Amino acid sequence: MTRQSQKTLERQKLSLPKGHNKLLLHSCCAPCSGEVMETLIESGIDFSIFFYNPNIHPVKEYLIRKEENIRFAEKHNIPFIDCDYDTDNWFARAKGMENEPEKGIRCTMCFDMRFERTALYAHEHGFSLISSSLGISRWKNMQQINDCGLRAAAHYPDIQYWDYNWRKHGGAVRMLEISKREEFYQQEYCGCVYSLRDTNRWRMSNGRDRIQLGVKFYSNAMDEDQNTSSK
């Protein structure tokens, strides 16, 4: 790796947008938020985690993902705000969109719903800036996520959405490294039952087993397995 490319992958020290002194960070899961949290910590930024993800189903999967996030937040003494599961409301809003594709209008609804609650909480509890770990995943459409965040923040004159690109400067690479180091639970679908259904359909059509909930975790041994299988 050249010095220039190494510098490109170095974690950057961030500053909050002008006029803000703390951040409410919506977290979708520990693997995605781990790198975001460590970047904010190293940057000396005051922030709290806001966990509101009514899309995650079944409840077994929801609880595992939430507990992993709590574990990492407690390790770093970061305030963790556990919002209502609210799954009935999510299913009501998803009605009629059950067969929409990933990154389609159902996902837009889902992002809207999560950002709306994040912005409301920020407005009611003295936060003026919100952001989310959702955009760090390369499986997600960052523009779609940012549009939803901006739309939610626009409901409140005192709230701004921070559209920082968490993938930059090696963020997406470190996300995986942290997940292995912390041995986070490795979810194998986005979160909703429709994503689980479609992922299982794809797996079965490609000769793979259905997803087993709660059994797969990141590990440094993954690299060893990959190296062995590639020989």
Give the per-residue pLDDT at 139: 87
- Cα–Cα dist 28/18, whole Å: 26
Q: Residue 142 has what pLDDT?
A: 96
**In order of start, what are the domains of the chain with their CATH numbers?**
21-229 (3.40.50.620)
3-state secondary structure the chain: CCHHHHHHCCCCCCCCCCCCCCEEEECCCHHHHHHHHHHHHHCCCCEEEEECCCCCCCHHHHHHHHHHHHHHHHHCCCCEEECCCCHHHHHHHHCCCCCCCCCCHHHHHHHHHHHHHHHHHHHHCCCCEEEECHHHCCCCCHHHHHHHHHHHHCCCCCCEECCCCCCCCCHHHHHHHHHHHHCCECCCCCCCHHHHHHHHHHHHHCCCCCCCCCCCECCCHHHHHHHHHCC
pLDDT at residue 42, as a whole number: 97
Provide the pairing of β-strand 129-132 with 80-82.
unpaired
Pairing of strands 23-26, 47-51: parallel
The answer on pLDDT for 119 being more than 80 is yes
pLDDT value of position 187: 95
> What local confidence, expressed as pLDDT, does residue 9 receive?
76
* Angstrom distances, CA of residue 205 to CA of 187, 193, 196, 208, 215: 20, 18, 14, 7, 22
What is the pLDDT confidence band of residue 184, given thresholds at 50, 70 and 90? Answer: very high
Q: What residues contact 15, with CB distance under 8 A and at least 6 apart?
A: 43, 45
Token pair in block for residue 65: 């993902």
Provide the pLDDT confidence category of residue 8 given band limits of 50, 70 and 90.
low
Longest dimension (CA), the chain: 58
pLDDT band at 221 (very low <50, low <70, confident <90, very high): low
Q: What is the pTM of this model?
A: 0.91
